[in-house]
Amino acid sequence: MDKIIITVVGKDTVGIIAKVCTYLSENNINILDISQTIVSGFFNMMMIADMSSAKIGFGELCEAMDALGEKIGVSVKCQKEEIFEMMHRI
């Protein structure tokens, strides 16, 4: 498993998850878990995905997500899961 965390924060608009998911599926990145909340109109989504059989590298994914975020006007951030594991698990 090569787990990554994708977070999307921004103004809620139609099809944010769809666009992210489409890109991930096109590149064979498997989604393991999705959770989302909307706090005072702000969309907050976290996705855990597995990149172990991805067609692209992590750097390329980051660039694509940056570009996608810019296009729909939200911030999309990709991080390796280890940073959260390290900080929140002993």
User: Which residues in this chain contact another protein in the complex, by CB under 8 A?
Assistant: 5, 7, 32-33, 35, 37, 44, 46, 48, 58-59, 62, 77-88
What is the C-alpha separation between 8 and 66, in angstroms, rounded?
Answer: 10
Q: How far is the CB of 79 from another protein (least distance, A)?
A: 4
Rank residues 5 and 24 by Cβ distance to another protein and give the closer one.
5
Q: How far is the CB of 19 from another protein (least distance, A)?
A: 20
Closest CA to 81 of 16, 6, 4: 4
Rank residues 17 and 62 by Cβ distance to another protein and give the closer one.
62
Nearest-5° Cα angle at 74, 51 to 20: 30
Backbone torsion region of residue 65, taken as left when φ is above 0, otherwise alpha when ψ lies between -120 and 50, otherwise beta = alpha
Q: How far is the CB of 72 from another protein (least distance, A)?
A: 19
